[in-house]
Structure 1
Amino acid sequence: MNPDRGPVCGPTVAEMLEAYRTGAETPSSIVEAFSAAVASRGDDGTWITVVRLAELSAAAAALEARPDPHLLPLFGIPFGVKDSIDVAGYPTTLACPDYAYTPDSTAPAVQALLDAGAIFVGKTSLDQFATGLNGTRTPHTVPRSVYGNDMISGGSSSGSALAVALGQVPFCVATDTAGSGRVPAALNGIVGWKPSRGLISTVGLVPACKSLDCITLMATTIEDLDLVFDVMCAEDPADGWSRPRGGRYDGREITVGLPDLQQLDFFGDAAMADAHSAARESLPSYGLRTATVDLMPFLDAGSLLYQGPWVAERLVEFDGFLTENPDSIVPVVREIFLGGRQYSAVDAFRALQTLQDLRARVAQLWTSMDVMIVPTIGTTFTVPEVLADPIACNTKLGHYTHFGNLLDLTAVAVPAGLTEDGRPTSLMVIGPALADDTVLAVAARIIGERRIVSARTPTEQSLVDIVVAGHHLSGERANPQLLELGGTLVEATTTAPTYTLLRIGTDDPTPGLLRVPFGGSAIDVERWRLPATSLAVLAGRLPAVLALGRVLLADGSDVLGYVCDATVQTGAERHTVDDISEFGGWRAYSRAITSAHDTSTAAQEIS
């Protein structure tokens, strides 16, 4: 294996935002660099559709002309989208030219990114119909891993992983039904996260297996995943699987479940087994407590995916096309689709009952651990090896990923070094549904990132801290609301220097905090403590333009507080908004306005 090969360290989302803030880069320079990078590699199987430079430059210029770039959390960030997700005006092909169509609307998850200032640069390659974990099931150029030596890229989100690993974009939108995001991330040395089902809307995604599909993210850092997910995560009433985000990790000790090494299968790959054992031994150094866990219920659930009736669910979307255009489908994908026709309703109910029993067993295991860590993949393959035995190789690639969505789990794959012969290894951090923040916290420790810990989620008997920046400050008109609810002042402090203070409205303006990617200030705030049961009362009294959200303080703590709601952040309702951050806080602004008014009145009386 060539030691010079591997992922390219392109700028992260956070680094790109900082470059914009300092003037070192502009969106125009970034999209020009992207186009040049793609052109320099030619057709390497990463992209199916690339947005033309003229269109990219126009999008960048429109962003640069905005008077309020600091209000856009992803200002000027280029990103790719897997070619099974709709973007208006660009073909959705699923790597099958005869299936392709051009949508009139954009998937809500992608639209949220565009509204946040990100720049769509193209559609990435995939295993045809998102069916496969290897990247070879395509009528187009077969992509290869950035580690070279004819190693497969992994799939089905092959192009999304490569675009990030090549440093062409800092993040990509992908999907993961059976490992389609985590496997290619592992094979290209990047981070691939499958959030809990329903946290990112799947409207506008052509379903592979709709009851299991997830829209997922690929990046090189957990920080970037956080930044992008905060934009994309939203309940969608049009998505039948949509649900709210779970609680934030609060800093308590984490127990990691580790299967006995004898339960792990590396398919005869001794180098991969040795590398995984070495990575496991380092876990206690990250402040993680470990416990032994039985992996078999997880693996038993995973075996149901392709050896059970869930294969038939793919025919809900593709059966008509299979009947009318069988020769348009890659042979191995066609074979899988045809195999789905053998299952009966009895088979489906039998499998559902088996899965429910396994879910109950797994639920008991989660009572003794917070997360579980296993290999993301047990071995690697070359392109010729997969083409020679496509089904067996694919099954081995999904050994540790197939059970994820069947058991309603969240999981993130993180790089964990190299084998002795230079191949990538990856650890997968797995958690129960909605434990996404805890899973990301563990992943961040493993790859050496510092991640802000949130305040603990309150119980009914506990106290909760809340940050106020405007009318609820001591002595201001709404402060009695806090006092009558039993609130006490903890401290007067400031936010981290990443906020703007906005004056919303004219006749009776409301102050609001808005976190911004660059050009922010430290804003004067107060931290109050009150019974957790009073939160519902406060939420019911919120002005229409405010919401309860997380506020990062100067000391690094992450506390619940009053922030601008989504209509202010996106400009959706065209509020009258003025940036008053230069005053440093609402009180200072009020004093300045009062002083100006008094001076004007005195001048009129003298005249």
Structure 2
Amino acid sequence: MTLPDMLQIDDLLAAYRSGDFRPSDLIREITGRIEAYQQKDPAVWISLFSTDHLLARAEELDGLSSTDLPLYGIPFAVKDNIDVVGLQTTAGCPAFAFEPSESAEVVKRLEAAGAIVIGKTNLDQFATGLVGMRSPYGQPSCVFDPACVSGGSSSGSAVSVAAGLVSFSLGTDTAGSGRVPAMFNNIVGLKPSRGVLSTYGLIPACESLDCISIFTGCVADALRVEKIAAAPDSRAPYSRSMTPHRLPLDSFRFGILPESERFFDGDAGNAALYENSIQTLMHLGGTPVEIDFAPLKEAAQLLYSGPFVVERLTALGDFYPQHKADMDPTVAGIIAGAERYTAADVFKAIYRQHGLQQIAERMWTQFDVMLMPTAPRIVTKQEVIAEPVAANSMLGTYTNFVNILDMSACAVPAGFGKDGHPFGVTFVAPAFADHDVSLLADRFHQAVGENTGAARSEPPRPVPPAEAMSPGSVRLAVVGAHLKGLPLHWQLEQEHAVLRETTRTAHDYRLFALANSVPPKPGLVREPGFVGAGLEIEIYELDSAGFGRFVASVPQPMSIGRITLEDGREVSSFLCAESVARSGTDITATGGWRAYLAGKD
């Protein structure tokens, strides 16, 4: 089998499940790709695991079932300010390098799901920059033009995905570092809500604002990775549980820049592509609403032209005064600016931040999402050398405000200019709208029809759509005795329920065979932090009256609540009181109730 140019997750999983490919075959292929790409651009990676190490990891997976792990044999890269055991963490500064004693929490969760870390990628030193030019390990190039920057600070992470070297990569995003490189390399950049992915094991830039971000070739892959990586973590001070914020996806209002605020730094082609993006979203059911950009612009200036830079100095502790001569001069100069601020200045900035957040909250009553250019335009390396701070500031025009105002965002490709350079847009929404804003971004991406990555040879795999429901109907997932052909299925038949699909839960659910239950049935419970393969379920549609009658008949210890599916959707489902469920037998490893019953025969 020949691997596709872009290593999208479902394509690799399908190859594994068909027997056409094994993880060890994949490692041999991509190590060859990496070696070849290094001849073209040697600055993508700071460190790589040896081929022997990677083959040993892959051969462990060869002996396992490809259906047991949701990221079985999927290769990924990690920005080198995130800890990975076995590789130094440098944060782009050799004098800072150290050997971590454990991997970052997100890395551990992804590896537990079957993914394979390939290596650590280059970055703007200490994640300070949007250009990808502030590293002693070299300056990665845009995959389309070696004269142009790759974008930063997550430079190598974006290139590793766009060049087809890994399926996904981890970056970080404080002011746009998970979005600007996505635009410049024609890929997807998901910036989760702050705190949804643990930052334990991340060298902070601004710890109160930092996010670990995800680069992929399609939105479906980004959502899958986020689901597996996300979990509350008491060791990360800003960790939060995701309480999904729902968006209207069929008829929605989207905020756009008024003509007077559309700044593209002279790039008329990108201005036209932004207007085309607005038209595309209107065709998808959206109504444009002009944004008052002034408070967003003020928030952006507060981040980079105010005392929040003190947080960057705080993150470095004693390292900065002792090693500033060892740092990139531009980075050192930015951090030196923190020394002029007082504690009073910092508190005043925090007060203004919260005031701007309240203004932003009121803005969401006017529209559901924002459609922003990801950046005004790409810049050349020579431009950055000539004006390192000015070029960087321009790139953050439409990204800097997002984290400081506690928003979620998903950046996707939006076409190419006549010069062959990519353009992108970012969908911005309130915190915890990660899933729905990504669905909308994916719908736009599919409508634009722009393939991702350097080769532009494969279309992005769409997020599996939820089948349209009849008015007044409800979707119900069943996990046990109500499955088709089992003893309680008649209760669904009497309400004329229609089977819509067979799918799986998200990966953090467990299933228990209940003791002394007649007829035999299981109990489903969610366990945050657990990473399994998901559990097989059936989803039925029934009218609201029938659903009400059905719910009224559900006996204790069962209840009806909301569960998350493997593709991120939520539906109503049977749940069980946790204390009762755990008194039974854990049958999660079987993959579902039907498989468990078959194994007993």
Which TM-score band applies after superposition, normalised by the shorter structure?
0.7 to 0.9
**Which residue of 474, 477, 498 maps to 1:467?**
477
1:569 alignment partner in structure 2 = none
1:201 alignment partner in structure 2 = 198
2:450 alignment partner in structure 1 = none
Q: Is the 8 A contact 1:21 1:518 kept in 2?
A: no
Letter in 1 for 2:260: Q
1:291 alignment partner in structure 2 = 289
Q: Is the 8 A contact 1:492 1:524 kept in 2?
A: no
1:115-126 equivalences in 2 (<5 Å): 115-126=112-123
1:350-369 equivalences in 2 (<5 Å): 350-369=348-367
Q: Secondary structure at the match of 1:79?
A: strand
Q: Distance in 1 between the 2:402 and 2:539 partners?
A: 42
Shift of 1:21: 1.2
Q: Is the 8 A contact 1:250 1:455 kept in 2?
A: no
Q: Secondary structure at the match of 1:255?
A: strand
Q: Distance in 1 between the 2:158 and 2:550 partners?
A: 45
Q: Distance in 1 between the 2:525 and 2:111 partners?
A: 19
**Which residue of 277, 280, 288 maps to 1:282?**
280
Q: Is 1:219 the counterpart of 2:216 in the alignment?
A: yes
Q: Distance in 2 between the 1:441 and 1:423 partners?
A: 25
Letter in 1 for 2:109: A
Shift of 1:355: 2.1
1:227-376 equivalences in 2 (<5 Å): 227-245=224-242, 246-249=244-247, 251-376=249-374
Equivalenced residues, count: 561
1:50 alignment partner in structure 2 = 48
Q: Distance in 2 between the 1:578 and 1:196 partners?
A: 31
Shift of 1:475: 11
2:453 alignment partner in structure 1 = none
Query: Cα gap change, 1:521/1:550 in structure 2, threshold over 3 Å: closer, same or farther?
Result: closer
1:180-579 equivalences in 2 (<5 Å): 180-245=177-242, 246-249=244-247, 251-448=249-446, 450-452=462-464, 465-471=475-481, 489=495, 491=497, 493=499, 495-496=501-502, 511=522, 530=547, 541=557, 549-551=563-565, 559-562=571-574, 575=586, 579=590
Q: Secondary structure at the match of 2:145?
A: coil
Shift of 1:300: 1.1
Shift of 1:16: 0.8
Q: Distance in 1 between the 2:117 and 2:163 partners?
A: 17
State the Cα RMSD in Å. 4.0
Query: Cα gap change, 1:103/1:27 in structure 2, threshold over 3 Å: closer, same or farther?
Result: same
Q: Distance in 2 between the 1:69 and 1:309 partners?
A: 50
1:87 alignment partner in structure 2 = 84
Letter in 1 for 2:108: Q
TM-score by structure 2 length?
0.83
Q: Secondary structure at the match of 1:309?
A: coil
Query: Cα gap change, 1:327/1:353 in structure 2, threshold over 3 Å: closer, same or farther?
Result: same
Shift of 1:492: 5.8
Shift of 1:234: 1.3
2:161 alignment partner in structure 1 = 164
Shift of 1:542: 6.1
Q: Deviations over 1:217-262 (max 9, x none)?
A: 0001011112111101112222222222214556442211112121
Q: Is the 8 A contact 2:473 2:541 kept in 1?
A: no
Q: Distance in 2 between the 1:313 and 1:503 partners?
A: 44
**Which residue of 31, 37, 45 maps to 2:33?**
37
Q: Distance in 1 between the 2:501 and 2:412 partners?
A: 31
1:14 alignment partner in structure 2 = 10
Q: Distance in 1 between the 2:164 and 2:483 partners?
A: 46
Query: Cα gap change, 1:248/1:455 in structure 2, threshold over 3 Å: closer, same or farther?
Result: farther
Shift of 1:356: 2.3
Shift of 1:551: 4.5
Q: Secondary structure at the match of 2:318?
A: helix
Q: Is the 8 A contact 1:200 1:232 kept in 2?
A: yes
Letter in 1 for 2:302: L
Q: Secondary structure at the match of 1:72?
A: coil
TM-score by structure 1 length?
0.83
Q: Secondary structure at the match of 1:282?
A: helix
Q: Is the 8 A contact 1:502 1:513 kept in 2?
A: yes
Q: Secondary structure at the match of 1:155?
A: coil
Q: Distance in 1 between the 2:184 and 2:556 partners?
A: 48
Query: Cα gap change, 1:258/1:578 in structure 2, threshold over 3 Å: closer, same or farther?
Result: closer
Q: Secondary structure at the match of 2:393?
A: helix
Letter in 2 for 1:108: E
Letter in 2 for 1:294: D
Q: Deviations over 1:529-584 (max 9, x none)?
A: 6569989x9899469xx99623589xx99633358999xxxxxx995666487x96
Unaligned runs of 5+ in 2: 447-460, 579-583
Shift of 1:350: 2.0
Q: Is the 8 A contact 2:8 2:217 kept in 1?
A: yes
Q: Is the 8 A contact 1:504 1:578 kept in 2?
A: no
Q: Distance in 2 between the 1:441 and 1:425 partners?
A: 20
Query: Cα gap change, 1:280/1:507 in structure 2, threshold over 3 Å: closer, same or farther?
Result: closer
Shift of 1:271: 2.8
Q: Secondary structure at the match of 1:93?
A: coil
Q: Is the 8 A contact 2:410 2:428 kept in 1?
A: yes
Q: Distance in 2 between the 1:538 and 1:390 partners?
A: 64
Shift of 1:389: 0.8
Query: Cα gap change, 1:34/1:510 in structure 2, threshold over 3 Å: closer, same or farther?
Result: farther
Shift of 1:513: 8.3
Higher radius of gyration, 1 or 2: 1
Q: Is the 8 A contact 1:56 1:121 kept in 2?
A: yes
Q: Secondary structure at the match of 1:173?
A: strand
2:452 alignment partner in structure 1 = none
Shift of 1:419: 1.3
Query: Cα gap change, 1:259/1:542 in structure 2, threshold over 3 Å: closer, same or farther?
Result: same
